[in-house]
Amino acid sequence: MSTSSFETRVGTPSLEPRAVMVEGGRHFVPSTDFGFLPIPKRLRYDPDKPLYFGLLLNVSFGFASTLTVANLYYCQPLLIVPLAKVELSDSFDATYDQAAVIATLIQAGYVTGLMLISPLGDLVRRRQLVLLLVSASTTLTIGLAITPNLRAFEVICFLIGVVNVTPQILMTLAADLATPERRASALSVVVSGLMFGVLIARVLAGVIGNFNTWRIVYYVAIGVQCFVLAGAYFILPDYPAKNHDLTYFKIMFSMAKYAVTEPLVVQSALINIASSACYTAFWVTLTFLLGGPPYYYSTLNIGLFGLVGMLGVLVGPLIGRVVDRLVPWYATLVAMIMLLAFQAVQAAAGGISVAAVIIVCFGLDVARQMQQVSLTTAVLSLSTAAAARLNAILILSLFIGQVMGSSVGTDVFVQHGWRACALVMLALYGFQLVLHLLRGPHCPRTRLFGWAGGFEARKSVLKAREEDGEETAVNQTDSAVQVEIKMEEGRSYGPDNCIKGYFQ
Protein backbone atom coordinates (compact mmCIF):
# COMPACT_ATOMS: atom_id res chain seq x y z
CA MET A 1 0.00 0.00 0.00
CA SER A 2 1.52 3.31 -1.02
CA THR A 3 1.60 6.31 1.22
CA SER A 4 -0.20 8.44 -1.30
CA SER A 5 -3.10 6.02 -1.53
CA PHE A 6 -3.56 6.22 2.20
CA GLU A 7 -3.52 9.99 2.47
CA THR A 8 -6.73 11.82 3.27
CA ARG A 9 -7.46 15.42 3.97
CA VAL A 10 -8.22 17.13 7.22
CA GLY A 11 -11.35 19.19 7.18
CA THR A 12 -13.60 16.90 5.19
CA PRO A 13 -17.37 17.45 5.64
CA SER A 14 -18.28 16.67 9.22
CA LEU A 15 -21.11 17.16 11.64
CA GLU A 16 -19.57 19.73 13.90
CA PRO A 17 -19.69 23.45 13.16
CA ARG A 18 -16.36 24.98 12.31
CA ALA A 19 -14.44 26.24 15.33
CA VAL A 20 -12.50 28.78 13.28
CA MET A 21 -13.67 32.26 14.16
CA VAL A 22 -14.11 34.91 11.52
CA GLU A 23 -12.78 38.43 11.93
CA GLY A 24 -13.31 40.96 9.17
CA GLY A 25 -14.08 38.22 6.67
CA ARG A 26 -10.84 36.34 7.41
CA HIS A 27 -10.43 33.07 9.17
CA PHE A 28 -8.78 33.40 12.56
CA VAL A 29 -6.59 30.35 13.16
CA PRO A 30 -5.47 29.75 16.78
CA SER A 31 -1.69 30.14 16.96
CA THR A 32 -1.07 29.04 20.56
CA ASP A 33 -1.96 26.26 22.96
CA PHE A 34 -3.27 27.33 26.38
CA GLY A 35 -2.81 30.96 25.31
CA PHE A 36 0.99 30.99 25.54
CA LEU A 37 2.57 27.91 23.85
CA PRO A 38 3.16 28.57 20.12
CA ILE A 39 1.77 26.00 17.69
CA PRO A 40 4.14 25.22 14.79
CA LYS A 41 2.71 26.97 11.72
CA ARG A 42 2.43 23.79 9.65
CA LEU A 43 0.22 22.23 12.36
CA ARG A 44 -2.26 25.09 12.75
CA TYR A 45 -5.75 24.35 11.55
CA ASP A 46 -6.75 26.26 8.42
CA PRO A 47 -9.85 25.19 6.44
CA ASP A 48 -8.41 26.93 3.38
CA LYS A 49 -5.19 24.91 3.52
CA PRO A 50 -6.11 21.44 4.79
CA LEU A 51 -3.33 19.26 6.16
CA TYR A 52 -2.81 15.80 4.70
CA PHE A 53 -3.46 12.89 7.04
CA GLY A 54 -1.01 10.41 5.56
CA LEU A 55 0.39 7.07 6.60
CA LEU A 56 3.28 8.57 8.57
CA LEU A 57 0.98 10.70 10.73
CA ASN A 58 -1.40 7.77 11.22
CA VAL A 59 1.46 5.52 12.34
CA SER A 60 2.59 8.26 14.71
CA PHE A 61 -0.85 8.11 16.33
CA GLY A 62 -0.50 4.35 16.72
CA PHE A 63 3.02 4.64 18.12
CA ALA A 64 1.88 7.24 20.66
CA SER A 65 -0.95 4.91 21.70
CA THR A 66 1.56 2.10 22.23
CA LEU A 67 3.79 4.18 24.49
CA THR A 68 0.99 5.77 26.52
CA VAL A 69 -1.23 2.74 27.14
CA ALA A 70 1.86 0.92 28.41
CA ASN A 71 1.59 3.02 31.59
CA LEU A 72 -1.37 0.90 32.65
CA TYR A 73 0.54 -2.38 32.50
CA TYR A 74 4.12 -1.75 33.66
CA CYS A 75 3.19 -2.66 37.22
CA GLN A 76 1.70 -6.09 36.52
CA PRO A 77 4.95 -8.11 36.13
CA LEU A 78 6.49 -6.24 39.09
CA LEU A 79 3.89 -6.91 41.78
CA ILE A 80 4.88 -10.26 43.28
CA VAL A 81 7.50 -11.72 40.95
CA PRO A 82 9.85 -13.81 43.13
CA LEU A 83 13.08 -12.30 41.83
CA ALA A 84 15.66 -10.21 43.66
CA LYS A 85 15.04 -6.46 43.63
CA VAL A 86 11.87 -6.84 41.60
CA GLU A 87 8.93 -7.11 43.92
CA LEU A 88 6.92 -4.03 44.72
CA SER A 89 5.60 -5.91 47.73
CA ASP A 90 9.11 -6.28 49.20
CA SER A 91 10.05 -2.69 48.44
CA PHE A 92 7.04 -1.33 50.34
CA ASP A 93 7.07 -4.10 52.98
CA ALA A 94 3.55 -5.10 51.92
CA THR A 95 1.75 -8.41 51.60
CA TYR A 96 1.00 -9.89 48.19
CA ASP A 97 -2.67 -9.03 48.63
CA GLN A 98 -1.82 -5.39 49.30
CA ALA A 99 0.46 -5.23 46.27
CA ALA A 100 -2.18 -6.78 44.02
CA VAL A 101 -4.47 -3.81 44.76
CA ILE A 102 -2.11 -1.60 42.71
CA ALA A 103 -3.15 -3.19 39.40
CA THR A 104 -6.82 -2.85 40.34
CA LEU A 105 -6.43 0.82 41.25
CA ILE A 106 -4.76 1.77 37.99
CA GLN A 107 -7.51 0.04 36.00
CA ALA A 108 -10.17 1.72 38.14
CA GLY A 109 -8.51 5.05 37.39
CA TYR A 110 -8.58 4.27 33.68
CA VAL A 111 -12.32 3.57 33.78
CA THR A 112 -12.81 6.85 35.65
CA GLY A 113 -10.84 8.68 32.97
CA LEU A 114 -12.90 7.06 30.22
CA MET A 115 -16.09 8.29 31.82
CA LEU A 116 -15.00 11.77 32.92
CA ILE A 117 -12.14 12.88 30.64
CA SER A 118 -12.52 11.01 27.34
CA PRO A 119 -15.84 12.77 26.50
CA LEU A 120 -13.95 16.09 26.56
CA GLY A 121 -12.77 15.16 23.07
CA ASP A 122 -16.23 16.29 21.91
CA LEU A 123 -15.88 19.66 23.63
CA VAL A 124 -12.29 20.97 23.46
CA ARG A 125 -9.35 21.17 21.07
CA ARG A 126 -7.78 17.74 21.20
CA ARG A 127 -4.20 18.82 20.57
CA GLN A 128 -4.29 20.78 23.82
CA LEU A 129 -6.05 17.95 25.62
CA VAL A 130 -3.39 15.43 24.55
CA LEU A 131 -0.54 17.75 25.57
CA LEU A 132 -2.14 18.28 28.98
CA LEU A 133 -2.80 14.57 29.57
CA VAL A 134 0.70 13.46 28.58
CA SER A 135 2.25 16.22 30.73
CA ALA A 136 0.20 15.07 33.71
CA SER A 137 1.12 11.42 33.09
CA THR A 138 4.82 12.28 32.90
CA THR A 139 4.72 14.25 36.13
CA LEU A 140 2.85 11.51 37.97
CA THR A 141 5.28 8.85 36.73
CA ILE A 142 8.11 10.79 38.40
CA GLY A 143 6.19 10.34 41.63
CA LEU A 144 5.96 6.58 41.08
CA ALA A 145 9.70 6.33 40.54
CA ILE A 146 10.70 8.16 43.73
CA THR A 147 7.98 7.66 46.34
CA PRO A 148 8.89 5.43 49.32
CA ASN A 149 5.29 5.19 50.56
CA LEU A 150 2.84 2.49 49.44
CA ARG A 151 -0.26 4.66 49.94
CA ALA A 152 1.22 7.46 47.87
CA PHE A 153 2.17 4.93 45.19
CA GLU A 154 -1.41 3.62 45.10
CA VAL A 155 -2.92 7.11 44.81
CA ILE A 156 -0.53 8.04 42.02
CA CYS A 157 -1.35 4.80 40.18
CA PHE A 158 -5.03 5.66 40.29
CA LEU A 159 -4.37 9.17 38.98
CA ILE A 160 -2.17 7.84 36.18
CA GLY A 161 -5.06 5.62 35.14
CA VAL A 162 -7.37 8.66 35.09
CA VAL A 163 -5.15 10.76 32.79
CA ASN A 164 -4.05 7.86 30.58
CA VAL A 165 -6.90 8.13 28.05
CA THR A 166 -4.68 9.65 25.34
CA PRO A 167 -5.15 6.65 22.99
CA GLN A 168 -8.91 7.17 23.04
CA ILE A 169 -8.51 10.86 22.21
CA LEU A 170 -6.17 9.97 19.33
CA MET A 171 -8.59 7.33 18.07
CA THR A 172 -11.47 9.77 17.66
CA LEU A 173 -9.13 12.41 16.21
CA ALA A 174 -7.94 9.90 13.60
CA ALA A 175 -11.58 9.17 12.74
CA ASP A 176 -12.16 12.89 12.18
CA LEU A 177 -9.02 13.47 10.15
CA ALA A 178 -9.64 10.50 7.84
CA THR A 179 -12.27 10.55 5.12
CA PRO A 180 -15.14 8.06 5.60
CA GLU A 181 -13.77 5.64 3.01
CA ARG A 182 -10.44 5.44 4.92
CA ARG A 183 -11.78 5.64 8.46
CA ALA A 184 -11.47 1.94 9.30
CA SER A 185 -7.85 1.89 8.08
CA ALA A 186 -7.01 4.89 10.24
CA LEU A 187 -8.71 3.37 13.28
CA SER A 188 -7.05 -0.02 12.77
CA VAL A 189 -3.58 1.52 12.97
CA VAL A 190 -4.39 3.23 16.28
CA VAL A 191 -6.08 0.09 17.67
CA SER A 192 -3.06 -2.01 16.66
CA GLY A 193 -0.79 0.41 18.47
CA LEU A 194 -2.96 0.24 21.57
CA MET A 195 -3.02 -3.57 21.63
CA PHE A 196 0.72 -3.75 20.98
CA GLY A 197 1.32 -1.43 23.95
CA VAL A 198 -0.60 -3.79 26.24
CA LEU A 199 1.64 -6.68 25.18
CA ILE A 200 5.01 -4.91 25.07
CA ALA A 201 4.62 -3.17 28.46
CA ARG A 202 4.52 -6.46 30.36
CA VAL A 203 7.51 -7.85 28.46
CA LEU A 204 9.57 -4.68 28.87
CA ALA A 205 8.82 -4.34 32.58
CA GLY A 206 9.55 -8.02 33.20
CA VAL A 207 12.90 -7.90 31.40
CA ILE A 208 14.09 -4.70 33.09
CA GLY A 209 12.84 -5.82 36.48
CA ASN A 210 14.61 -9.15 36.10
CA PHE A 211 18.00 -7.46 36.01
CA ASN A 212 17.51 -4.35 38.11
CA THR A 213 15.23 -2.61 40.59
CA TRP A 214 11.60 -2.00 39.61
CA ARG A 215 12.17 1.75 39.90
CA ILE A 216 14.27 1.64 36.71
CA VAL A 217 11.10 0.63 34.85
CA TYR A 218 9.46 3.90 35.83
CA TYR A 219 12.57 5.96 35.08
CA VAL A 220 12.42 4.49 31.59
CA ALA A 221 8.69 5.31 31.49
CA ILE A 222 9.48 8.95 32.32
CA GLY A 223 11.82 9.15 29.35
CA VAL A 224 9.23 7.49 27.11
CA GLN A 225 6.54 9.96 28.20
CA CYS A 226 8.83 12.92 27.55
CA PHE A 227 9.44 11.54 24.06
CA VAL A 228 5.68 11.26 23.46
CA LEU A 229 5.16 14.80 24.76
CA ALA A 230 7.78 16.21 22.41
CA GLY A 231 6.35 14.20 19.52
CA ALA A 232 2.83 15.45 20.25
CA TYR A 233 4.03 19.06 20.21
CA PHE A 234 5.89 18.78 16.90
CA ILE A 235 3.63 16.27 15.06
CA LEU A 236 0.05 16.46 16.35
CA PRO A 237 -2.08 18.77 14.16
CA ASP A 238 -4.49 21.22 15.70
CA TYR A 239 -8.17 20.61 15.02
CA PRO A 240 -11.10 22.79 16.04
CA ALA A 241 -13.23 22.10 19.05
CA LYS A 242 -16.71 20.74 18.46
CA ASN A 243 -20.16 21.31 19.97
CA HIS A 244 -19.82 24.99 20.83
CA ASP A 245 -23.31 25.10 22.31
CA LEU A 246 -22.73 22.23 24.73
CA THR A 247 -21.48 22.24 28.30
CA TYR A 248 -19.50 19.51 30.02
CA PHE A 249 -22.51 18.28 31.97
CA LYS A 250 -24.67 18.14 28.85
CA ILE A 251 -21.91 16.17 27.14
CA MET A 252 -22.04 13.65 29.99
CA PHE A 253 -25.83 13.48 29.92
CA SER A 254 -25.88 12.92 26.17
CA MET A 255 -23.33 10.11 26.50
CA ALA A 256 -25.63 8.33 28.93
CA LYS A 257 -28.53 8.96 26.55
CA TYR A 258 -26.68 7.43 23.58
CA ALA A 259 -25.88 4.35 25.66
CA VAL A 260 -29.57 3.49 26.09
CA THR A 261 -31.41 5.09 23.15
CA GLU A 262 -29.27 4.41 20.07
CA PRO A 263 -30.00 0.83 18.85
CA LEU A 264 -26.67 0.42 17.05
CA VAL A 265 -24.75 1.63 20.10
CA VAL A 266 -26.66 -0.68 22.43
CA GLN A 267 -26.18 -3.65 20.11
CA SER A 268 -22.46 -2.96 19.62
CA ALA A 269 -21.87 -2.50 23.35
CA LEU A 270 -23.56 -5.82 24.17
CA ILE A 271 -21.55 -7.61 21.49
CA ASN A 272 -18.40 -5.96 22.78
CA ILE A 273 -19.10 -7.12 26.35
CA ALA A 274 -19.59 -10.74 25.30
CA SER A 275 -16.63 -10.78 22.91
CA SER A 276 -14.28 -9.10 25.37
CA ALA A 277 -15.33 -11.59 28.06
CA CYS A 278 -14.49 -14.52 25.78
CA TYR A 279 -11.18 -13.06 24.65
CA THR A 280 -10.10 -12.22 28.21
CA ALA A 281 -11.18 -15.61 29.53
CA PHE A 282 -9.05 -17.35 26.89
CA TRP A 283 -5.85 -15.47 27.77
CA VAL A 284 -6.42 -15.67 31.54
CA THR A 285 -7.04 -19.43 31.52
CA LEU A 286 -4.29 -20.12 28.97
CA THR A 287 -1.74 -19.93 31.78
CA PHE A 288 -3.63 -22.61 33.72
CA LEU A 289 -3.96 -24.79 30.63
CA LEU A 290 -0.30 -24.65 29.59
CA GLY A 291 1.00 -24.94 33.14
CA GLY A 292 -0.89 -28.21 33.76
CA PRO A 293 -1.22 -31.57 32.01
CA PRO A 294 -0.32 -32.47 29.33
CA TYR A 295 2.00 -29.48 28.75
CA TYR A 296 3.60 -28.51 32.09
CA TYR A 297 5.27 -25.48 30.49
CA SER A 298 7.38 -23.05 32.50
CA THR A 299 6.32 -19.46 33.08
CA LEU A 300 8.85 -18.31 30.48
CA ASN A 301 7.50 -20.66 27.83
CA ILE A 302 3.94 -19.60 28.59
CA GLY A 303 4.95 -15.97 28.24
CA LEU A 304 6.28 -16.62 24.75
CA PHE A 305 2.73 -17.30 23.59
CA GLY A 306 2.20 -13.55 23.87
CA LEU A 307 4.48 -13.21 20.84
CA VAL A 308 1.86 -15.08 18.80
CA GLY A 309 -0.59 -12.41 19.86
CA MET A 310 1.80 -9.73 18.61
CA LEU A 311 1.75 -11.33 15.18
CA GLY A 312 -2.01 -10.95 15.19
CA VAL A 313 -1.66 -7.26 16.05
CA LEU A 314 0.66 -6.68 13.09
CA VAL A 315 -2.05 -7.59 10.58
CA GLY A 316 -4.35 -4.90 11.99
CA PRO A 317 -3.78 -2.35 9.20
CA LEU A 318 -4.63 -5.00 6.59
CA ILE A 319 -7.84 -5.68 8.48
CA GLY A 320 -8.66 -1.99 8.30
CA ARG A 321 -8.32 -2.03 4.53
CA VAL A 322 -10.81 -4.91 4.32
CA VAL A 323 -13.28 -3.15 6.61
CA ASP A 324 -13.00 0.02 4.51
CA ARG A 325 -14.33 -1.87 1.48
CA LEU A 326 -17.32 -3.41 3.26
CA VAL A 327 -20.36 -2.15 5.07
CA PRO A 328 -19.20 -2.56 8.72
CA TRP A 329 -22.01 -5.04 9.46
CA TYR A 330 -20.49 -7.58 7.07
CA ALA A 331 -16.98 -7.13 8.46
CA THR A 332 -18.36 -7.78 11.93
CA LEU A 333 -20.16 -10.89 10.64
CA VAL A 334 -16.94 -12.28 9.11
CA ALA A 335 -15.09 -11.61 12.36
CA MET A 336 -17.77 -13.43 14.37
CA ILE A 337 -17.63 -16.48 12.12
CA MET A 338 -13.86 -16.55 12.53
CA LEU A 339 -14.18 -16.26 16.31
CA LEU A 340 -16.62 -19.16 16.37
CA ALA A 341 -14.35 -21.29 14.19
CA PHE A 342 -11.18 -20.70 16.22
CA GLN A 343 -12.99 -21.15 19.53
CA ALA A 344 -14.33 -24.45 18.21
CA VAL A 345 -10.73 -25.53 17.56
CA GLN A 346 -9.90 -24.62 21.16
CA ALA A 347 -12.86 -26.60 22.49
CA ALA A 348 -11.91 -29.64 20.43
CA ALA A 349 -8.12 -29.76 20.80
CA GLY A 350 -6.85 -26.99 23.06
CA GLY A 351 -5.92 -29.39 25.83
CA ILE A 352 -4.56 -32.03 23.47
CA SER A 353 -2.35 -30.33 20.87
CA VAL A 354 -0.11 -27.30 21.35
CA ALA A 355 -0.42 -26.60 17.61
CA ALA A 356 -4.14 -26.02 18.15
CA VAL A 357 -3.36 -23.54 20.93
CA ILE A 358 -0.95 -21.60 18.70
CA ILE A 359 -3.50 -21.46 15.88
CA VAL A 360 -6.19 -20.25 18.27
CA CYS A 361 -3.90 -17.58 19.79
CA PHE A 362 -3.25 -16.08 16.37
CA GLY A 363 -6.77 -16.53 15.00
CA LEU A 364 -8.59 -15.05 17.98
CA ASP A 365 -6.31 -12.01 17.95
CA VAL A 366 -6.94 -11.33 14.27
CA ALA A 367 -10.69 -11.92 14.46
CA ARG A 368 -11.15 -9.92 17.66
CA GLN A 369 -9.25 -6.98 16.21
CA MET A 370 -11.36 -7.09 13.04
CA GLN A 371 -14.52 -7.15 15.13
CA GLN A 372 -13.42 -4.21 17.26
CA VAL A 373 -12.43 -2.08 14.27
CA SER A 374 -15.67 -2.80 12.40
CA LEU A 375 -17.85 -2.11 15.45
CA THR A 376 -16.01 1.11 16.18
CA THR A 377 -16.23 2.23 12.55
CA ALA A 378 -19.98 1.61 12.46
CA VAL A 379 -20.67 3.38 15.75
CA LEU A 380 -18.45 6.40 15.08
CA SER A 381 -20.10 6.86 11.68
CA LEU A 382 -23.30 7.81 13.51
CA SER A 383 -21.87 11.17 14.55
CA THR A 384 -18.46 12.78 14.30
CA ALA A 385 -19.65 15.45 16.74
CA ALA A 386 -20.25 12.73 19.37
CA ALA A 387 -17.28 10.50 18.44
CA ALA A 388 -15.53 10.77 21.83
CA ARG A 389 -18.69 9.91 23.73
CA LEU A 390 -19.58 7.00 21.46
CA ASN A 391 -16.05 5.62 21.65
CA ALA A 392 -16.07 5.94 25.45
CA ILE A 393 -19.22 3.80 25.58
CA LEU A 394 -17.55 1.08 23.50
CA ILE A 395 -14.37 1.07 25.60
CA LEU A 396 -16.37 0.94 28.84
CA SER A 397 -18.28 -2.06 27.50
CA LEU A 398 -14.93 -3.68 26.71
CA PHE A 399 -13.82 -3.26 30.33
CA ILE A 400 -17.07 -4.73 31.63
CA GLY A 401 -16.43 -7.76 29.43
CA GLN A 402 -12.88 -8.09 30.72
CA VAL A 403 -14.08 -8.20 34.32
CA MET A 404 -16.72 -10.79 33.45
CA GLY A 405 -14.32 -12.92 31.42
CA SER A 406 -11.64 -12.98 34.10
CA SER A 407 -13.98 -14.08 36.87
CA VAL A 408 -16.28 -16.45 34.95
CA GLY A 409 -13.49 -18.01 32.91
CA THR A 410 -11.36 -18.71 35.96
CA ASP A 411 -14.24 -20.20 37.96
CA VAL A 412 -15.37 -22.51 35.15
CA PHE A 413 -11.82 -23.63 34.39
CA VAL A 414 -10.99 -24.40 38.03
CA GLN A 415 -14.23 -26.26 38.68
CA HIS A 416 -14.83 -28.04 35.37
CA GLY A 417 -11.63 -27.95 33.30
CA TRP A 418 -10.43 -26.45 30.04
CA ARG A 419 -13.01 -27.98 27.72
CA ALA A 420 -15.98 -26.76 29.75
CA CYS A 421 -14.48 -23.27 29.79
CA ALA A 422 -13.95 -23.38 26.03
CA LEU A 423 -17.54 -24.53 25.44
CA VAL A 424 -18.93 -21.71 27.59
CA MET A 425 -16.95 -19.20 25.53
CA LEU A 426 -18.15 -20.88 22.34
CA ALA A 427 -21.74 -20.44 23.49
CA LEU A 428 -21.06 -16.75 24.18
CA TYR A 429 -19.68 -16.30 20.67
CA GLY A 430 -22.88 -17.90 19.38
CA PHE A 431 -24.91 -15.44 21.45
CA GLN A 432 -23.04 -12.57 19.80
CA LEU A 433 -23.88 -13.90 16.36
CA VAL A 434 -27.60 -14.13 17.21
CA LEU A 435 -27.50 -10.61 18.62
CA HIS A 436 -25.78 -9.32 15.50
CA LEU A 437 -28.32 -10.92 13.17
CA LEU A 438 -31.21 -9.14 14.88
CA ARG A 439 -30.31 -6.01 12.88
CA GLY A 440 -29.50 -6.28 9.19
CA PRO A 441 -26.68 -4.50 7.37
CA HIS A 442 -28.96 -1.62 6.39
CA CYS A 443 -31.37 -1.51 9.30
CA PRO A 444 -32.68 2.06 9.82
CA ARG A 445 -30.95 3.82 12.67
CA THR A 446 -34.01 4.10 14.93
CA ARG A 447 -35.06 0.43 14.73
CA LEU A 448 -34.10 -2.02 17.45
CA PHE A 449 -34.16 -4.86 14.92
CA GLY A 450 -35.02 -5.41 11.28
CA TRP A 451 -33.67 -6.19 7.81
CA ALA A 452 -34.96 -3.30 5.68
CA GLY A 453 -32.75 -1.79 3.01
CA GLY A 454 -31.40 -4.79 1.15
CA PHE A 455 -28.21 -6.81 1.47
CA GLU A 456 -25.53 -4.89 -0.44
CA ALA A 457 -22.12 -5.39 1.20
CA ARG A 458 -19.84 -3.18 -0.88
CA LYS A 459 -19.44 0.46 0.01
CA SER A 460 -18.44 1.30 -3.56
CA VAL A 461 -21.81 0.12 -4.87
CA LEU A 462 -23.69 2.14 -2.26
CA LYS A 463 -21.66 5.21 -3.10
CA ALA A 464 -22.42 4.78 -6.80
CA ARG A 465 -26.12 4.56 -5.99
CA GLU A 466 -25.96 7.77 -4.00
CA GLU A 467 -24.21 9.52 -6.87
CA ASP A 468 -26.99 8.35 -9.20
CA GLY A 469 -29.53 9.90 -6.85
CA GLU A 470 -31.14 6.68 -5.66
CA GLU A 471 -33.00 6.63 -2.38
CA THR A 472 -31.69 4.34 0.33
CA ALA A 473 -32.83 3.35 3.79
CA VAL A 474 -29.33 2.46 4.93
CA ASN A 475 -28.64 3.92 8.33
CA GLN A 476 -24.86 3.51 8.25
CA THR A 477 -24.60 5.16 4.84
CA ASP A 478 -26.74 8.21 5.57
CA SER A 479 -24.85 11.44 5.07
CA ALA A 480 -23.12 12.79 8.15
CA VAL A 481 -25.32 15.88 8.28
CA GLN A 482 -28.51 13.81 7.99
CA VAL A 483 -27.47 11.52 10.80
CA GLU A 484 -26.44 14.35 13.08
CA ILE A 485 -29.69 16.20 12.51
CA LYS A 486 -31.55 13.04 13.55
CA MET A 487 -29.40 12.50 16.63
CA GLU A 488 -29.43 16.09 17.81
CA GLU A 489 -33.03 16.95 16.81
CA GLY A 490 -34.97 18.73 19.48
CA ARG A 491 -32.05 19.69 21.69
CA SER A 492 -31.37 23.06 23.21
CA TYR A 493 -28.13 23.96 24.88
CA GLY A 494 -26.93 26.57 27.29
CA PRO A 495 -23.70 28.59 27.36
CA ASP A 496 -20.31 26.90 27.45
CA ASN A 497 -18.78 26.10 30.80
CA CYS A 498 -15.40 27.16 32.11
CA ILE A 499 -13.65 23.90 31.10
CA LYS A 500 -14.52 24.45 27.44
CA GLY A 501 -13.58 28.12 27.56
CA TYR A 502 -10.11 27.31 28.87
CA PHE A 503 -9.25 24.98 26.00
CA GLN A 504 -10.58 27.13 23.15
What confidence tens digit (pLDDT) does each residue in 110-148 have? 999 999 999 999 999 999 999 999 999 999 999 999 988
**More confident site: 440 or 472:** 440
Contacts 24+ apart (CB under 8 A), 466-473: 472/442, 473/442, 473/444
Q: Dihedral sign, CA of 239, 383, 115, 250?
A: positive
Q: What pLDDT does residue 454 have?
A: 82
Q: Mean of the pLDDT values across residues 3-8?
A: 34
CA–CA separation, 34 and 435 (whole Å): 46
Classify domain 42-246 at the CATH topology level. Answer: Growth Hormone; Chain: A; (1.20.1250)
CATH 1.20.1250.20 domain residues, the chain: 42-246, 247-466
Q: Mean of the pLDDT values across residues 400-410?
A: 89
Classify domain 247-466 at the CATH topology level. Answer: Growth Hormone; Chain: A; (1.20.1250)
Decide if 22 contacts 216 (C-beta within 8 A). Answer: no
Percent of the chain clearing pLDDT 90 (strictly above): 46
Query: In sequence order, what are the beta bridge partners of 439?
Result: 450
Confidence bin at 79 (pLDDT 50/70/90): low
- Helix 150-163 and helix 96-116: axis angle, to 10°? 30
Q: Mean of the pLDDT values across residues 441-461?
A: 85
Query: In sequence order, what are the beta bridge partners of 28?
Result: 21
Query: In sequence order, what are the beta bridge partners of 371?
Result: none
**More confident site: 455 or 22:** 455
| 150: CB partners within 8 A, 6+ apart | 92, 93, 94, 98
Most confident of 19-28, 282-291, 311-320, 363-372: 363-372
In 3D, which of 6, 129, 130, 12 has the Cα closest to residue 56?
6
Confidence bin at 10 (pLDDT 50/70/90): very low
CA–CA separation, 396 and 389 (whole Å): 11
Q: What pLDDT does residue 102 have?
A: 84
| pLDDT higher than 90, residue 165 | yes
CA–CA separation, 476 and 30 (whole Å): 34
Confidence bin at 87 (pLDDT 50/70/90): low
Confidence bin at 469 (pLDDT 50/70/90): low
Confidence bin at 466 (pLDDT 50/70/90): confident
Decide if 368 contacts 335 (C-beta within 8 A). Answer: yes
Most confident of 19-33, 164-178, 440-454: 164-178
Q: Which of 219-233, 334-348, 473-487 has the lowest mean pLDDT?
A: 473-487
Q: What pLDDT does residue 120 have?
A: 94
Decide if 59 contacts 69 (C-beta within 8 A). Answer: no
Encode pLDDT of 271-320 as tens digits.
Answer: 999 999 999 899 888 888 988 888 888 766 776 777 777 777 778 788 88
**Backbone angles phi and psi of 129, in degrees to 5:** -65, -45
| pLDDT higher than 50, residue 346 | yes
